Amino acid sequence: EDQVTQSPEALRLQEGESSSLNCSYTVSGLRGLFWYRQDPGKGPEFLFTLYSAGEEKEKERLKATLTKKESFLHITAPKPEDSATYLCAVQARGTSYGKLTFGQGTILTVHP
């Protein structure tokens, strides 16, 4: 069974203090790994898709990387508006229908 574990559960940063969020996964052949951002009471907002080990994607202050067992979401010089829950999900190869298996998320709080 596919599994995703995110750490830490919660992370508090000062504005400008860079850090990383971790996503460890077990899947029977990875088709894709996805990062989403979710604000309280809202639906997840798509950020990145990573398909193979060594791949990197960037968007503003966020950079996602992928290895064979985990993914990292690096946040450089965060701002208070980056505060949100960050969700990681995997999609297994052979699952052409697209079920996503999510981790429990990391709650990021950035203080001014």
Instruction: State which residue, 9 or 14, has the beta carbon closest to other proteins.
Output: 9
Instruction: State which residue, 54 or 97, has the beta carbon closest to other proteins.
Output: 97
Chosen residue from 25, 27, 34, 78 binding other proteins by CB under 8 A:
34
Q: Least distance (Å) from other proteins to the CB of residue 97?
A: 4
Instruction: State which residue, 79 or 99, has the beta carbon closest to other proteins.
Output: 99
The answer to whether 42 contacts other proteins (rule: CB under 8 A) is: yes
Q: Give the tokens for residue 62.
A: 């966020």
Binding site for other proteins (CB under 8 A): 4, 31-32, 34, 36, 41-46, 49, 87, 89, 91, 95, 97-105
